[in-house]
Amino acid sequence: AEALVPHFTRRFDVVERGQLSKLADELKLEQSDLLEGGAGRRELGRLARVRYLVLGSISPLGGLTANARVVEVSTGLVKQAARVSAPDPESLVKRMKDLAVMLQMDDEARAAYEEKLSSSYAEVK
């Protein structure tokens, strides 16, 4: 999450997870209310004036893979999703800019960007 923030602040006002957690605690919302329950997520988004959440995970698939998605708070719809992989943690951190860029694109632009990235990584090997 920390590695993604600088790549979103040029275009968005970013609210830190800690700020949302404090507000969720004040509203007595559980994590499941935010992830599964639309009403809790909408209320938190309304009070914090948050339009999108960036959610993600890192998994050990062929090195490390970071998966992320942009979720519209009011509807719960996934607006964009992307993933990047790297052989080790240091290399994955360097790929966070690619992940952030793809999350801010439409589907067609993201597909073209992924193609460009995959061909440039193939040339390096």
User: What per-residue confidence (pLDDT) applies to 121?
Assistant: 65
Q: E strand or H helix at 108, and its extent?
A: helix 107-124
Neighbours of 110 (CB within 10 A): 17
CB 72 within 8 A of CB 80: no
d(CA 96, CA 93): 5
User: What per-residue confidence (pLDDT) applies to 94?
Assistant: 94
Q: Strand, coil or helix: what is 75? A: coil
* pTM of the complete model: 0.76
| 125 residues of the chain, pLDDT tens digit each | 888 989 998 888 888 777 777 776 776 666 555 555 566 666 766 666 778 889 899 999 779 999 999 988 878 889 999 999 999 999 999 999 999 999 999 999 999 998 988 877 655 54
